[in-house]
Amino acid sequence: MTGPTGAPVAGAVAAEASASRPEAEAAAVHVARAGAAGMVSPVDGLGVLHLFCHVGPGTDRARLGAAVASARQAGDQVVTVSVLGHKADVGLMALGPDLRRLRALQGAVQAAGCTVTASYVSLTEVSEYAAGIPEEMRQARLYPQLPPADKPAFCFYPMSKRRGDVHNWYAMGFEERKELMLGHGRVGRRFHGRVLQLITGSTGLDDWEWGVTLFATRPDDLKACVYEMRFDEASARFADFGPFWAGVVADLDEALDLSGGAR
């Protein structure tokens, strides 16, 4: 199985090779059958599920690998990350058209002995402020191909626009909001080639309004991008940020090896 660059999808070969036990086969069947009751899909774009997990001696490597491999075989993308810090050991970012299938993957991950410490649910989208962008750019936002080549540094955080008494994003007119977002985008374009940003919408789906996933060549690119964009007026006056998760894109076996916990 290969990714958008033609290289093997992270962890797919190792996971499929190791998934020989009955429990692992059951995990694969569980994910593969998830859509039998009918797909639950957005009109345009993909569902996105971030899972951040702790692993331990009870984590079944083969069963987890089978779940990830089955999701990929069904057509979903699953990016696996080795997470730094105490919040999680392993991160999974899954993108696919069917929310049932994403939920089945979550269940299979938990059945493999992973403890989900945090999650985030969102949808790929094209911002209302990006109307009229070229079709190629529109498709890249709705149907991204992840992970990008040569960008192993990873971070994810949720955010919302402020609705306070003094600064209320939603009390402004569309044109004023659009002008601020165009300025915000100009700052982000300084990092073209160094950082790939995917903003997914979560209003009505999770606790924040957007999820921001960043892939970078080096970890200091992530730091510099987020730092510089906070000075932009759209962020400085109107942005509230949630917790951050940072890590390294790795195939599943490497991520589990680095965690030191899975059998």
- Domains of the chain: which residue ranges? 12-124+249-259, 135-247
Q: CATH code for 12-124+249-259?
A: 3.30.70
Decide: 77 and 47 in contact? Cβ < 8 Å: no
pLDDT tens string, the chain, 263 residues long: the values are 334 333 333 334 344 444 446 665 665 556 666 655 689 999 999 999 999 999 999 999 999 999 999 999 999 999 999 999 999 999 999 999 999 999 999 999 999 999 999 999 999 999 998 888 899 999 999 999 999 999 999 999 999 999 988 899 999 999 999 999 888 788 878 888 899 999 999 999 999 999 999 999 999 999 999 999 888 888 999 999 999 999 999 999 999 999 987 77
Q: Vertex 93, ends 60 and 160: CA angle to 5°?
A: 135
Decide: 67 and 112 in contact? Cβ < 8 Å: yes
- Tell me yes or no: is domain 135-247 CATH 3.30.70.1030: yes
Q: Do domains 12-124+249-259 and 135-247 have the same CATH topology?
A: yes
Question: What is the distance between the alpha carbons of residues 30 and 64, in angstroms, rounded to a whole number?
Answer: 12
Active site residues: 157
| pLDDT of the residue at 103 | 98
What pTM does this model have? 0.86
| pLDDT of the residue at 261 | 75
Under DSSP, is residue 198 helix (H, G, I), strand (E, B) or coil? strand
Q: Where are the alpha helices (DSSP H) in 90-152?
A: 99-111, 135-142
Question: What is the distance between the alpha carbons of residues 15 and 104, in angstroms, rounded to a whole number?
Answer: 17
| pLDDT of the residue at 6 | 36
Strand partners, 84: 246
